Amino acid sequence: MKVSITDYEDYLYDHYKSHGIDTSLFMKLVEEVGEVAEVLNKRDGRKASDSKDLKSQLANELVDVIHYAFAIASLNQINLNDVILEKDKKASNKYRHERNLEQFLLNR
């Protein structure tokens, strides 16, 4: 099963709309970013690790980052699909990329 950006935004809005406070969600986001950094430090040998499955840990922490970022966007009625395409197009022009995300998707 594939999840679209819109589906995930709708799900998170439904989940957090009655009790979601985006400042508390932001604190959770920052916490999860720190956990991503911790796993990367373990993976790169800058921090001791007793786990052999750092890839799985990294995946789970990245999903947590995405969860809270999307929840904040959803509570603020930000359509991430549109913003991602728009921002990528600007960056592609600025950095003179061969193609932008929209072109990539159209050519797939």
User: What does the pLDDT look like over 10-43, one tens digit per residue?
Assistant: 999 999 999 878 899 999 999 999 999 999 999 9
At residue 96, φ and ψ (nearest 5 deg) are: 55, 50
pLDDT at 105: 96
- Tens digit of pLDDT for each residue in 60-99? 999 999 999 999 999 999 999 999 999 999 999 999 999 9
Dmax (CA) for the chain in angstroms is: 45
Please give the Cα distance from 58 to 30 (Å, whole number).
Answer: 15
Residue type, 78: I
pTM, full prediction: 0.91
Q: Is the pLDDT of residue 8 over 90?
A: yes
Question: Which segments of the chain belong to CATH 1.10.287.1080?
Answer: 5-77
Listed in sequence order, the DSSP H helices in the chain are 5-16, 22-43, 54-75, 80-94, 101-107
Q: Out of 1.10.287.1080, 3.30.420.40, 1.10.1040.10, 3.30.479.10, select the CATH number for domain 5-77.
A: 1.10.287.1080
